[in-house]
Amino acid sequence: MPLFTSDYLRRQSSETLITESKRLFSSQDKSNLKFDIFLSHSYLDRNEVFGLYRELSSMGYLVYVDWIVDSDLDRSNVTKASAELIRNRMKNSKSLLLAISTNAAISKWMPWELGYVDGNTNRCAIIPVAQNNVNYNTFERVEYLKLYPYLDRATMMGSQDQKIWVNEDTNTYVLLEQWISGTNPYKR
């Protein structure tokens, strides 16, 4: 099954939709929000990230993306208060999905977020974002990322609906909604 591709995710994104999503959160009290997913990413890949945000949100997940939910954060001026806000958002998220896209390797925040959530929930997985259509046999996780499962989309036997799966390997997997609820991947 192909990875999420950059082209696919960019087609899910538009400036109008991004602005509307930010507006939705700016009008509500955000102090006690709980999230299913903290989406860790490189801001340089925001169009792909917004495509992921839309896809996951359309499936019913509450997804945290800092520049959407907390659009007033100043990325150029990180303070103890802004780091504490991000820490609280991670604490109020059931899981972390790490978007491995073009610029992920240069992000300074992604490793911090991954380590923090992994140490607190042990509920972290990777979303590979490819530049073109490739299959998972060519997806290589580097170094410490080999510790984490990865996501893909596939149909269930006897169904036409595509689901998102969390995979340890090709024979060890579980549905994303079950994984977020605490079920670990199991061998088939």
pLDDT band at 102 (very low <50, low <70, confident <90, very high): confident
Residue 167 to residues 151, 164, 187, Cα–Cα distance (Å): 6, 10, 10
Closest alpha carbon to 71 in 55, 98, 50, 92: 50
pLDDT tens digits for 138-173?
A: 566 678 888 999 998 877 777 778 889 999 988 999
Q: What is the dihedral of CA 24, 27, 32, 38, to 10 degrees?
A: 30
Q: Which phi and psi (to 5°) does residue 160 adopt? A: -100, -15
Q: Would you state the CATH architecture of domain 4-149?
A: 3-Layer(aba) Sandwich (3.40)
Rounded Cα gap, residues 118 and 55, in angstroms = 24
Comparison of pLDDT for 10 and 178, the residue scoring more:
178
pLDDT of residue 126: 94
The predicted model scores a pTM of 0.86
95 vs 186, residue with greater confidence: 95
Cβ(48)–Cβ(99) below 8 Å = yes
Beta partners for residue 124, in sequence order: 96
111 and 126 in contact (C-beta within 8 Å)? Answer: no
